Amino acid sequence: MSAKQTLMGHRGLDREEKLIFEMGAEGRSGVDLPATELNEDCLGAAGRRGRIGLPGLSEPQVVRHFVRLSRKNYAIDNGFYPLGSCTMKHNPRLNEKLARLPGLGDLHPLQPQSTVQGALELIDVLAHWLKTITGMPAVAMSPAAGAHGELCGVMAIRAAHEAAGETRSTILVPESAHGTNPATAAMCGFKVVAIPATDQGLVDLSAFEALLNDDVAGMMLTNPNTCGLFEPDIKRMADMLHEAGGYFYCDGANLNAILGRTRPGDLGVDAMHINLHKTFSTPHGGGGPGSGPVVFSEALAPFAPVPWVVCEGEGVYRLIEHVNGEADKSFGRLKSFHGQMGMFIRALAYMMSHGADGLRQVAEDAVLNANYILANLKDVMSQAFPGTCMHEALFTDEFLKGTGVTTLDIAKALIDEGIHPMTVYFPLVVHGAMLIEPTETETREELDEFIAIMRHLVERAKAGDEQMFHDAPELTPRRRLDETAAARKPVLTYAELEAAQ
Amino acid sequence: MSVLKFSEDHEWVAVEGDIATVGISEYAQSQLGDIVFVELPEVGKQLAQGDEAAVVESVKAASEVYTPVSGEVTEVNTELEDNAALVNESPMIKGWFFKMRLSDPKELEGLMDESAYEAYVEGLD
């Protein structure tokens, strides 16, 4: 980037942006409200005595501020976003169009059920698709996202054991699991026991068997796993776990790889969350909100959280909202209202516009794209595990040995090259891991460009161009951030403010 | 006489009399990268060999620290709470994690001495 200095720090038409609280002037406002007729003293001693520090801004100032910020953002709408295990796929505009239909967009969750029959039907139809796709008999629609879905699933497992009068205290989690899996189990009061991985990146079956006993409440496993590999022994593990009286929670983060090809219900899964914001193309990462419905097996279905929708005949739908009657075993409520309705609309639009055959092709193309990247990079990078992968390609930092360049440096250099970095240093079982998930929505040209950039960076690293990597990123509004200092001495306020009174 | 031993999980233990001081090795700190947070055990806690005793968090990942020997925690290095970087700067001296009163000194025999540990680390790279 040119070292040229400008008076205000703006660069070309890319302006240096202040925080919104550092802008504006006292008393300025974008709206003109009529004078209040309320008695100002009605709050008495409870009235506010201090300033609350809201900035005084005109409408154009606010519009420009957020438009400029949006230009600094990088999103799936800007370009390739190969963040592994995140399924950053294109969000079709058709989804947005349908979510903005007045009959759906203007709904309020407190409307009487008789006035929202169409919305309840939509939830019920989406639930039907989710149950059909996964081969599971029940689904809880309310969880807000993946980790919330995990909480939902493990609470149902705990409720099922409690109902059976059992006290089991451990949950088995493979070493390569998403960090949220052990966190969820611990949050529900379970002791987490790690299942070791084999050198093929799979769960060690004999180690798993040795860990099974009557204290095991369940297992949490991702399939395909975080190494991008399908666990071939999954059904056997599920059977062994059930034999020992445990329940099988499957982390559905990687459902995109098996959509329409494998039904989790056939693999012995008892509960699994589905990230609508990954697999079913609703906005993800900053744009959310997420949505994480949880499908349940027959054994866990009675313990699912309220609310759920029941169809009481042609076109007549009812919400079950309380823990009694037909929901008397439910473990309760996880969320106010009924779930992320806006995401339900988008996910169903995606499903219905693809159809069953289209969804199956989603998985096929996602796996094909990942293997295309793997095949075109494995001669210069070091593939973590032999063979083909599922929806994501995993590399170790072995190929960087002796270059002085690290996985982090590669990630930073990718930013200068115009690509959002892949997932780095995860899964933990792989040294200096680089996890690349292209998804099915990228074109051949986009993949070829990424491959060319990666090959170029590897060449530069191997040619001894260490400094270029340590200096990266050089072309961004800010240079490399000091992540260590940010973690050790975080500064969480932009200025010292007096506490509000 | 003091004894210095290492575990396969890259903890070191230095023993003076019946008090053992535990930390992580130079190799461990270099693999973890910049350490930003250390969670220490409570004083008085009874730990059995191999139990999870502490957690270190680096910019890359959070990892458990296992106690290489059994005993009761007698003291923790409170300086690490404000300055976790000591583990990177001085893993073997200022960056110690906790001290414990050994309950089974025989366990030390199953651990590696410095040269055996160096050979072990050599084999990992």
The model's pLDDT over A220-232, given as tens digits with 9 standing for 90+, comes to: 999 999 999 999 9
Beta strands in A408-500 (DSSP E): 423-424, 434-436
Token match 């891991």: residue?
A433
Scanning every residue of chain B, which has its alpha carbon at the shortest distance from the alpha carbon of A401?
A: B125
pLDDT in tens, A135-176: 999 999 999 999 999 999 999 999 999 999 999 999 999 988
Contact A487 B85 (CB under 8 A): no
Q: What is the pLDDT of residue A176?
A: 85
Q: What is the average per-residue pLDDT within A453-479?
A: 96
pLDDT in tens, A335-350: 999 999 999 999 999 9
In the predicted structure, residue B1 carries a pLDDT above the cut 60: no
pLDDT category at A428 given cuts 50, 70, 90 is: confident
* pTM for the whole structure: 0.89
Contact A484 B61 (CB under 8 A): no
pLDDT in tens, A283-309: 987 667 999 999 999 999 999 999 999
pLDDT in tens, B68-118: 999 999 999 999 998 999 999 999 999 999 999 999 999 999 999 999 999
- What is the helix (H) or strand (E) element at residue A317, kind and residue range? strand A317-320
| Pairing state between β A247-251 and A271-273 | parallel
Residues 170-189 of A with CB under 8 A from B: 179
Q: What is the pLDDT of residue B35?
A: 94
Sequence ranges of the domains in chain B? 2-109
pLDDT in tens, B58-75: 988 888 899 999 999 999
Contact B36 A428 (CB under 8 A): no
**Is it true that the peptide bond before A473 is cis, omega within 30 degrees of 0?**
yes
A428 to chain B: which residues are within 8 Å by CB? 61
Domain with CATH 3.40.640.10 in chain A: 94-350
Q: What is the pLDDT of residue A477?
A: 87
pLDDT in tens, A121-140: 999 999 999 999 999 999 99
Helix axes A341-377, A117-134, angle to 10 degrees: 30
β-partners of residue B33 are none
> How big is chain A by its Cα radius of gyration, in Å?
26
Scanning every residue of chain B, which has its alpha carbon at the shortest distance from the alpha carbon of A423?
A: B60
pLDDT in tens, B18-66: 999 999 999 999 989 999 999 999 999 999 999 999 999 998 888 889 9
Higher pLDDT, B124 or A396: A396
- Closest partner residue to A484 among B59, B61, B62, by Cβ? B59
Q: Domain B2-109 adopts which CATH fold?
A: OB fold (Dihydrolipoamide Acetyltransferase, E2P) (2.40.50)
pLDDT category at A1 given cuts 50, 70, 90 is: low
CB A188 within 8 Å of CB A220:
no
CB A480 within 8 Å of CB A472:
yes
Alpha-carbon gap, residue A404 to A231, rounded angstroms: 35
Range scoring the smallest mean pLDDT among A10-19, A105-114, A117-126, A235-244: A10-19
In the predicted structure, residue A499 carries a pLDDT above the cut 70: no
Supply the DSSP string of A48-70, one letter for each residue. --S--------HHHHHHHHHHHH
In the predicted structure, residue A61 carries a pLDDT above the cut 90: yes
A487 to chain B: which residues are within 8 Å by CB? 34, 36-37, 57, 59
Q: What is the average per-residue pLDDT within A52-81?
A: 92
pLDDT category at A500 given cuts 50, 70, 90 is: low
Residue in B9, B34, B86 to test binding to A, most A beta-carbons within 10 Å: B34
Contact B37 A487 (CB under 8 A): yes
User: What rounded mean pLDDT belongs to chain A?
Assistant: 93
**CATH code that applies to domain A94-350:** 3.40.640.10
pLDDT in tens, A338-394: 999 999 999 999 999 999 999 999 999 999 999 999 999 999 999 999 999 999 999
Q: What is the pLDDT of residue A493?
A: 83
Beta strands in chain B (DSSP E): 2-6, 11-16, 19-24, 35-39, 46-47, 52-58, 62-66, 71-76, 98-102
Eight-state DSSP code of residue B112: B
- What is the helix (H) or strand (E) element at residue A319, kind and residue range? strand A317-320
Q: Domain A354-482 adopts which CATH fold?
A: Aspartate Aminotransferase, domain 1 (3.90.1150)
Residue in A178, A484, A489 to test binding to B, most B beta-carbons within 10 Å: A484
- Closest partner residue to B34 among A425, A426, A484, by Cβ? A484
Cβ atoms within 10 A of the Cβ of A63, count?
12
Percent of chain A with pLDDT over 90: 81
* Beta-carbon pairs below 8 A across chains A and B: 20
Eight-state DSSP code of residue A481: -
Domain with CATH 3.90.1150.10 in chain A: 354-482
Counting other chains too, the contacts that A56-62 makes at CB distance below 8 Å and 24 or more residues apart are: A56/A24, A56/A25, A56/A26, A56/A27, A56/A28, A56/A29, A57/A20, A57/A23, A57/A24, A57/A28, A57/A29, A57/A30, A58/A28, A58/A29, A58/A30, A59/A30, A61/A23, A61/A24, A61/A30, A62/A20, A62/A30
